[in-house]
Structure 1
Amino acid sequence: MDFETEQATRYQRIIDLLSPPDGTPTSTAKLEGELEGESDDIHEAITDLIAFGELELVNSSQHGRVRLHQPTPSTKAQATLTDPTEYVWHAYITERDGLGRTRARRLFKDREVAEEHLKQIVNVETLTPVPGIKKVWCASLGSKGYTPEYAVLRREPVFQQADDPYPESR
């Protein structure tokens, strides 16, 4: 999958507008308004970021509300990880416009095994790093007549106890 420079810029601008993550949902209409004039593809970038696991859909009405998914601990919460380098590989298939719907979702300790899972499920050859997003690789799937999908591989931390996901907001 080839990403255009404009896509990476859009992704980063959306993430910047939602940072620091405080758990407050933001309307997609507000994001589109904030980025008006920069691109006509803001909605597509938002749905991509949901598919990649960077944003989570909180609720939807006329315009969806999203917030940053914060899978990594804050500096204060770092002690809740058994080992700061302990991660799992989260492999899944998601519809491009599925707004969070996934299938073939699995967790793996080894990246090679996670990639093999995706290759067996959807016959993907290579995964491309998503520009502007750390620890996410994907491949675009689908052909004429089928819903476009992404095969996604994310690196996720392992937590040993419950933690406040938005410690800065309280």
Structure 2
Amino acid sequence: MRWRINRTPAALLAAGAVSVLSVAVLGSKIWSGGSATLHAAAVRFEMRLADTAFSPGLREARIALTGGVVYLHQEIIVTNDDISDSQVIDGERPSRFGVAVTLNAAGAEKMRRATARHVGELIAMLIDGEVITAPRLRSPIGASAVLSCDCTKAEAERIANGMRIR
């Protein structure tokens, strides 16, 4: 799936603001690794720390919503295994949607530990290996986050339903 990107200055600014607000308000595996249960999910979900500058060991990736570049850390903070619920939510624009993700206790603890040490840095949300958004952490994240994907309802439903382990 390819995401439609509105590259007007106002849209890019709004997308960045929505991404930052989404993670700020709501409170291990190695690079190519993952768990066997990930294969049971129709959509692969990951959250990783990210940087704006390259360092050895980081991988370059484009942000689907903005076209910007980030450099992903190898360690995956949470995956589908850490999700207890996911649901479609209204987006910032009419007829556009996002996905609210609730983590289980183990996932929430991993997220709290990782994000508490990296406030002020970027966190990337990936769907099927593609960075959808990479907001700056304003505070540690706990048990929930919002994927501000600016999706159609059908895309958001596919992601929300597909990221849960069967």
Task: Please indicate the TM-score interval, normalised by the length of the shorter structure.
Answer: under 0.3
Give the greater-gyration-radius structure (CA).
1
Which TM-score applies when normalising by structure 1? 0.24
TM-score by length of structure 2 reads: 0.25
Q: Which has the higher strand share?
A: 2
Q: Which structure is richer in relative contact order (CA contacts within 8 A, separation 6 or more)? A: 2
